[in-house]
Amino acid sequence: MFSTRSKITTGIAWLLFTLLMVLVAIQDYRREGGSTIWQPILWESSSAVVGLSLWLTQRYFTQKYDYLLTTPWRWFGVQLLCMPLMWLSFVPLTFGIRHLVYYWMSTTYRHDSWPQLFFYESLKLSIFLGLFTVILFGILSYFTLIKEKLAAERSNALFRQAQLQRLSQQMQPHFLFNALNTISSLMHTDVERADATLIQLADVLRATLEVSELHEAPLATELRLVRGYAQVMAERYADRVAITWQIDEDTLACTLPVMSLQPLLENIFKHTVEQCRQLTQIQIVVQREDQSLLIRLSDDQGTLKASSANPGFGLRNIRERLALMYGDAASLALVQLEPAGVQAEMRLPCAY
């Protein structure tokens, strides 16, 4: 669970703590008249090495119970069960090292009686291990929280990706259904136009397949799709619609959700062109404003009441995808124009 960096940091912290204890012991030893500083160094370093070794051993055997971190009293209970063995091991190991070093230095190591020694050293060990165990609990809990947060973020990302994939795939058959209806209508009046429109549809579908696995595409790619759709629909309403395009060149590299313009144009055909017998002027404007991409599709005949009474699948789909991909940084709104007409305005980030 610990990274290499965390282990190094913990090791350095332990070395500094041990050095501090050794320096304090040397100062006390000299204050009491001692002259050989190897003795306080031996006392503190032997306690630190044995204490750390026992603590690491305890950690080795108890780390499999880290799943109990969510119930701290159970996790600490497992650590507490190891304490008697630590008490029984610490004094023989620590003082055994000291006796061996003193023997090698041709001197004698004197200490309190063994019962008193066991009580005093076990109390010190309990404080030492208790402190480090509490610190360990805090570190493990932090890493567990981070791990769970990352897992939740990955899960949410996968969920959003699945949602976007579903929404994108929904748009493709929806578009195909409407285009085939247009061709079906033309076949009853003009077979040649129907054939030409079918060829145009094939080109649009080819472009659609190129981005079928994507959630976003450059505006240049999206314009290829929407221009193809516009040509298909213009064949159906040849005498009732005129479309003008105003596309700033510096917007072509901006990305936006795949097949997000076509539903806006389809909304105009559905609620305005189909309902009006006179010529409908449609204007498509794409420009940049600071770090935003601004897209406006407007007509000169529609009414907001007709367009918003039944917003349809396409607009709901776009709004859902904008919310998933950009949150509050993107928006889609319908605006009533004067004296007539409706404008769909989509704004989304573009910071390239």
Between 11-25, 58-72, 112-126, 291-305, the lowest mean confidence (pLDDT) is in: 11-25
pTM beyond 0.75, yes or no: no
The answer to whether 248 and 287 have CB atoms below 8 angstroms apart is yes
The helix/strand/coil state of 295 is strand
Using only the alpha carbons of the chain, give its radius of gyration.
38
* pLDDT attached to residue 228: 83
Work out the pLDDT band at 285, boundaries 50, 70, 90: very high
The answer to whether 302 and 268 have CB atoms below 8 angstroms apart is yes
Evaluate if residue 227 carries a pLDDT over 70: yes
- Going from the C-alpha of 153 to that of each of 96, 149, 161, 321, 328, the distances in angstroms are 52, 6, 12, 18, 19
Q: Express each pLDDT in 120-161 by its tens digit.
A: 888 888 888 888 888 888 888 888 888 778 767 765 665 555
Name, of 5-19, 196-210, 274-288, the range with top average pLDDT: 274-288
Other beta carbons within 10 angstroms of residue 84's beta carbon come to 10
Residue 86 corresponds to which amino acid? M
Work out the pLDDT band at 300, boundaries 50, 70, 90: very high
Structure tokens at 143: 């890493």
* pLDDT attached to residue 5: 63
Other beta carbons within 10 angstroms of residue 111's beta carbon come to 14
User: What does the alpha-carbon distance between residue 86 and residue 125 come to, in Å, rounded to a whole number?
Assistant: 8
User: What does the alpha-carbon distance between residue 294 and residue 165 come to, in Å, rounded to a whole number?
Assistant: 24
Evaluate if residue 247 carries a pLDDT over 90: yes
Burial 248-268 (b: 16+ CB within 10 A, else e): eeebeebbbbbbbbbbbbbbb
The answer to whether 269 and 305 have CB atoms below 8 angstroms apart is no
> Domains in the chain, start-ordered, CATH in brackets?
4-111 (no CATH), 155-349 (3.30.565.10)
Cα–Cα nearest to 232, from 276, 171, 260, 273: 273
- Write the Ramachandran bin of 81: left for phi over 0, alpha for psi from -120 to 50, otherwise beta: alpha
Sequence-ordered list of residues with C-beta below 8 angstroms from that of 41, at least 6 positions apart, any chain: 22, 25, 26
Q: Express each pLDDT in 161-206 by its tens digit.
A: 555 555 455 545 556 676 777 778 778 777 887 787 788 777 777 7
* pLDDT attached to residue 303: 85
Evaluate if residue 334 carries a pLDDT over 60: yes
